[in-house]
Structure 1
Amino acid sequence: MQKSRPDSRDNLPEDFFIPVPLDVANITTLSPFLVPQTHLGNPSLFMGMAAFMFILIVLGVPINVLTIFCTFKYKKLRSHLNYILVNLSVSNLLVVCVGSTTAFYSFSNMYFSLGPTACKIEGFSATLGGMVSLWSLAVVAFERYLVICKPLGNFTFRGTHAIIGCAVTWMFGLAASLPPLFGWSRYIPEGLQCSCGPDWYTTENKWNNESYVIFLFCFCFGVPLSVIIFSYGRLLLTLRAVAKQQEQSATTQKAEREVTKMVVVMVMGFLVCWLPYASFALWVVTHRGEPFDVRLASIPSVFSKASTVYNPVIYVLMNKQFRSCMLKLIFCGKSPFGDEDDVSGSSQATQVSSVSSSQVSPA
């Protein structure tokens, strides 16, 4: 397996970058839009990636569609926080239906046979959906902080605020995904050349690409991560203080432990989604000229696309009310596991003095 050498080359095509040695006579003959990229990996590797993308499609589409459908079908799910979870599901569907589906087809063919225009569409759509999803997680965390910690006193988080939060996630998503279409970086095939994303590993237009990667790392990873850590950190401190005041209450102590576990799962889920992509892109930018295995360049993209499955599991299926409604919908009105129908929703007022695991769950 050749390792890439992200060096500048003369007269390279604008729509792709082939990570192969410089002594190739005609780089265009290896175009990821024209021929299978078996010089980068054996066919079994491509088929394995295609199988993984297929699994993401099979699991990601139903769970996100169910989230949206259940919210519209069951009135008790139409709370302000659930609007944000629907927003998360819409962004996940964008990634699955455009990003994962295109990647599945390309990995099956072992090259990006749909052409440069489709590459730009896939790169833009996956980036937009990913950024909206990422910022939605930050909005969820901040909403929990406002509702439970009450830093603004009697301020009430209403549906209007949730809609504004959803709009902001799309504004930030467009701010991150549009620039490569207008010359600030570009969308090209990455890794094994079967999925597309921003150009973060070539030295053509070095400052142009590097400044965009730094922008993504700071604005689209650093800021949301800071919001999530701050919000959930303050939430844990608040709940711990309440638990300490009610040391004799077994219910309060149990709730505090369950919430701590859930917060850890949420933060870990965020890091699993985005830390590989952010870290690898930043490493390439800060280690220009050093070789890296192109197979590793495909791993961050796979992890970010996998978020379309495990984010709904964390933020939706771990919520008793959502889970109960989904099971009733699937099993024609009766939950086979006996989930309670009257689980209190997030639309109800949350009081820190009466801590419960449902009040501090994602929804």
Structure 2
Amino acid sequence: MSPPRIMDFNRTVSRPLPLILKAKPLRTPSNIFVVNLAFCDFMMLTKAPLFIHSTLFVGYLEHVHCQAFAAIGAISGIGAATTNAAIAYDRYNTIARPFDGRMTYGKAFFIVICIWCYAIPWIYLPLSETWSRYVPEGFLTTCSFDYLTPTNEIRTFTGVMFVVCYCIPMSFIIYFYSQIVSHVFRHEKALREQAKKMNVDSLRSNQDANAQSAEVRIAKAAITICFLFVAAWTPYAVVALIGAFGDRSLLTPGVTMIPATFCKTVACFDPYVYAISHPKYRMELSKRIPCLGIKETPPAAAETQSTTTTTA
């Protein structure tokens, strides 16, 4: 195995964005959301050097660094949450309404603009200290919005943030992906009942089998995405609520650091859920880096648009 191939592997797997931009089959309206999510995840990863430096050498983030650290975290966290909701909406339309719900470039860009119009105020308000503020947390090596100061202003901001930046995106994600899974199961049930009436084993041709394989992948990815979002952000949301409305004596530096660190790891998993499990992305990987041994079967030429876009 030659060194250049190893370098290409590292770049492509760790950063799905360049491949999406280079490969024409991946430049779809739906993948605009994946690019936006990749940007949010990249912003989260840019905090790592500052976190490592403060942990090993400084021990305390200065005010400017603290504000930058917290603002970047807010950009990544809120932006990723709302982008995940947009992806869920797009996939729901693609699978449940393949003809009426097709995404266009104009609609995709408009939704991305709406995502940032939704997120930016909640990033700016603590940064300008108009409402709440960014302060050190845990072992004082990271920063986030203030949820420990016992004032009505902080309690109100924490409660509103919980609803706007956690409950609403999570509700959309769970609703749309549950509808996707329900649609797949209803579709399969209808096919089995029809096959039974016609006294045949299956109504599917080889082409339809490939379509079903794509639908099953999407259903599995949907469950994974919901689990990742809930598992990554729920502990941090609970800690913030305890700090604002509960017994603050329970929140030791170690207790607050664990969920604060864990919620940032979702930025490492998103590329694999959205890209590595993507059939078209896997096909491009198999073409560009054969040494990976990825075997992805190209879709049939007559395969419908609804099948090819379900994994976008």
TM-score w.r.t. structure 2 length?
0.83
Tell whether the 8 Å contact from 2:242 to 2:248 is kept in structure 1 after alignment.
Answer: no
How far residue 281 of structure 1 moved from its aligned partner, in angstroms, is: 0.7
- Residue of 258, 262, 265 corresponding to 2:221: 262
Give the aligned partner of residue 135 of structure 1: 82
2:49 paired residue number: 101
Deviations 1:51-87 (A, max 9, x none): xxxxxxxxxx956873221122111110111111011
Letter in 1 for 2:40: S
- 1:159 is matched with 105
Q: Is the 8 A contact 2:138 2:254 kept in 1?
A: yes
Flag the 1:344–1:161 CA change in 2: closer, same or farther, 3 A.
Answer: farther
RMSD: 2.6
Question: Which residue is equivalent to 1:122?
Answer: 69
Give the AA of the match of 2:31. Answer: N
Residue 37 (structure 2) pairs with residue 88 (structure 1): yes
SS at match of 2:19: helix
Q: 1:344 to 1:279 in 2, by over 3 A?
A: farther
Q: Please tell me whether the aligned partners of residues 119 and 187 of structure 1 are also in contact (alpha carbons under 8 angstroms).
A: yes
For 1:158, give the aligned amino acid. T
CA apart distance, 1:120: 0.4
Q: CA deviation at 1:237?
A: 1.6
Query: 1:309 and 2:254 equivalent?
Result: no
Mapped to 2, the partners of 1:256 and 1:96 lie a distance apart of 31
Aligned runs of 1:1-363 on 2, under 5 Å? 62=11, 66-97=15-46, 99-109=47-57, 111-113=59-61, 115-150=62-97, 154-183=100-129, 184-203=131-150, 206-247=151-192, 248-249=201-202, 251=209, 258-326=217-285, 328-329=287-288, 331=289, 334=290, 336-340=292-296, 342-343=298-299, 349-350=305-306, 360-361=310-311, 363=312
Per-residue deviation, 1:327: 5.3
Find the residue that maps to 2:305 and give its secondary structure: coil
Give the 3 Å change call, closer, same or farther, for CA 301–70 of structure 1 in structure 2.
same
> Deviation digits for residues 145-186 of structure 1, max 9, x if unmatched?
1121129x7243111111112222222221221110222111
Whether the aligned pair in 1 keeps the contact of 2:41 and 2:80 (CA below 8 Å) is yes
Contact map agreement 2:94 2:309 (CA 8 A) in 1: no
- Aligned identity (percent) is 21
Q: Per the alignment, do residues 238 and 295 of structure 1 end up closer, same or farther by CA in structure 2, a change over 3 Å counting?
A: same
Gaps of 5+ in 1: 1-60, 352-357
**Alpha carbons 1:321, 1:344 under 8 Å: kept:** no
Task: Tell me the distance in 2 between the aligned counterparts of 1:254 and 1:170.
Answer: 34
Q: TM-score, normalised by structure 1?
A: 0.72
The answer to whether the Cα contact below 8 Å between 1:328 and 1:335 also exists between their aligned partners in 2 is: no
Spell out, residue by residue over 1:275-311, the C-alpha distance to the aligned partner (whole angstroms, 9 max, x if none): 1111111122221453422101011221221111011
CA contact (8 A) 1:145 1:235 kept: yes
- Give the CA deviation at 1:142: 0.5
Q: Which amino acid aligns with 1:323?
A: R
Taking the aligned partners of 1:337 and 1:359, their CA distance within structure 2 comes to 24
Aligned-partner residue type, residue 292 of structure 2 = P
Counting matched residue pairs gives: 286
Q: Output the CA distance in 1 between the equivalents of 2:97 and 2:88.
A: 13
Match for 1:268: what amino acid? F
**Bigger fraction of residues in helix:** 2
